[in-house]
Structures are given as structure tokens and as C-alpha cells.
Amino acid sequence: MISKLLTVMLCLFSEKSNAVTDKQIRSCISKLITFEEELGRDALREQKKFPDTTLPMLWILTPTASKAKLSRFGGRLDDNWGNGVYFSPEIYHTAIVVIHQLPENLDTLWLRILGKGGCQKKAIDELESLTPDNPIRKTTLSLLYNFQKNLSALQEKDSGDQEVIMRLAPLYQQDRELAFREGKQEGKQEGKQEGKQEGKQEERRKLVENLLINRFGSLDKPLTAIIEPIIALPSEEFIPLLLNLSKEELISRFQQ
């Protein structure tokens, strides 16, 4: 089952926004080997054994991949995993996940959102159609939010990336607000409402911080200074501003 990807305890992911190249595949495998050497040195210092079975699995995520490329890589389908997941010979501890070939079901939803074009759009439509309290929607939004946050400082984003962020950010904010409303209803003791409100503000602050980092690479002093006035606005107002205004325009608009 493809959902096994969500339960691998020790693994490395490498996501490519465009079709992966041969050079990128070799580079990813090289990084895995470097990581293996680091683990081996750590084990030696601690006087522990480092069996080959403890080496992490490398998952290379790509929107598409040609049959020729998969053949050069030695990729083979596994009946236990289904379409779209191609495993290299076992010695390499590597698999290529071809997102546009994955079966269209809830197990693959968050991965298909990492695809491109129509595949990605359809997956986001599926996510939006789920009810706000659907556990798959909650888990998918959390996975995507953290995945995007971890990668935001490492890659350039094109107009397609910005569109995806614009569509997902309000969904994530709705999910957070629903969680706080539920917590507010459950909490009856004195002071709980104030605590929930503080938690909600903290979530909004984190959302703004991550969107700013996503756009501009880091939070410098001028950007940090405008976070508080930004989170005072409703999310449906500040999200489009953060995604479309330049750094100078944002500072000028919200500078106190």
C-alpha cells in the first residue's frame, strides 16, 4: 500500500518540482551515501554496530519520469505498493515516486498535491471537498504545511508554487481555527477561553512567519516588526497580501 510512505520511521525525502534528471538522481544517492558514512562514524564513536539494514530509505518525489529514465535507474514496481513507486536494486535503498502515476485515492492525496498541473489541481480540489473535521484533511494539511515550511528556504518558487500556497494557506488556517473552536467548546474551566485565544494568535503568527520566510527566505528585523499588525487582520485579508506584495510594499503598508 502506498500509505506505507507515511509510516516509514527512518527515511530521507528529496522532492523535485519538475521531472527529476539523471544528475539529480545521482546527487540524491550521493547524499544518501554521505549520510550513511556519518551514521557509521557516529556508531564507531559510540562503539555500536551499524548494520546495513538501519540505513534510511531514500524517496525521490518527482511529478513525472520517462520509462527510459526509470529503466536506467533500475526501477521496478512492487505489488505491495501499487503504481507509481519504483524501487531500485535493494543495495541502493532508493525509490522514485512518480506522482502523476499514483492511484487517485485518499492514501496518495498529500503526495499528489506535490505534483504539477492538472494532477495537483485535482488533488487540491479533493482536499477542499473534504469536511473540515475529516481526519484525512487535517493530517494532509499538517503534513503539507510542515513539508512546505521545511523546503521553503531551499528552492525557488514559480507562479505555480505561489498558487498552491495561496490555495492551501486558507485551508490550513480554517483547520487551525476549527481546532481552537472545538477546544473552546470543550474547555469549561475558568481561564481556558483566554488560553485558547492566545493559542490561536500564536498559530496565526506562525502562519505569517512561514509565509514571509517562504517569500523572502528569512525574517529580518523590518519583516519581524510588521508581524503583529499583519496578524491583526483576518486571514482572508492578510494571506493575499503576503503572497502578492513585495517586501518593500509590505513594510510600507504595515510599518507602525
Q: What is the pLDDT of residues 74-105, one digit of tens each?
A: 999 998 888 999 999 988 889 999 999 999 98
Element (H, E) at 94: strand 94-98
| Bridge partner list, 15 | 61
What is the rounded average pLDDT of the residues 59-81? 92
Q: Where are the alpha helices (DSSP H) in 152-190?
A: 159-186
Starting from the edge strand earliest in sequence, which strands make up the sheet with 94-98, in order?
11-15, 57-62, 94-98, 85-87, 76-77
Query: Which percentage of the chain shows pLDDT scores above 70?
Result: 70
Question: Average pLDDT over the chain, rounded to whole?
Answer: 77
The CA radius of gyration of the chain, in Å to the nearest whole number, is 21
Burial category of 120 from C-beta neighbours within 10 Å (exposed 0-12, middle 13-18, buried 19 and up)? buried
- pLDDT tens per residue across span 107-130: 888 888 888 888 988 998 898 888
pTM above 0.75, yes or no: no
Cα separation, 35 vs 42, whole angstroms: 11
Cα separation, 142 vs 148, whole angstroms: 10
pLDDT of residue 22: 92
- Distant-in-sequence contacts of 193-201, Cβ < 8 A, 24+ apart: 200/176, 201/231
- pLDDT tens per residue across span 207-242: 788 778 767 778 888 889 899 888 888 776 777 787
pLDDT of residue 149: 60
- pLDDT tens per residue across span 140-171: 777 776 666 655 544 555 555 666 666 777 77
pLDDT of residue 11: 55
Q: Is 14 helix (H, G, I), strand (E, B) or coil?
A: strand
pLDDT of residue 13: 61
pLDDT of residue 161: 60
pLDDT of residue 233: 83
Torsion angle of alpha carbons 213, 204, 250, 210, nearest 10°?
10
Domain edges within the chain: 1-105, 130-256
pLDDT of residue 176: 67
Cα separation, 83 vs 69, whole angstroms: 16
Where residue 9 falls among pLDDT bands split at 50, 70, 90?
Answer: very low
Of residues 102 and 54, more confidence is placed in 102
pLDDT of residue 39: 78
Residues 6+ apart with CB under 8 A from 64: 19, 98, 99, 100, 116
CA distances from 146 to 25, 51, 150, 172, 194 (A): 24, 31, 6, 11, 27
- pLDDT tens per residue across span 172-211: 777 666 666 666 555 544 444 544 555 667 777 887 887 7
Residues 6+ apart with CB under 8 A from 58: 11, 12, 14, 28, 29, 32, 92, 93, 94, 95
pLDDT of residue 237: 75
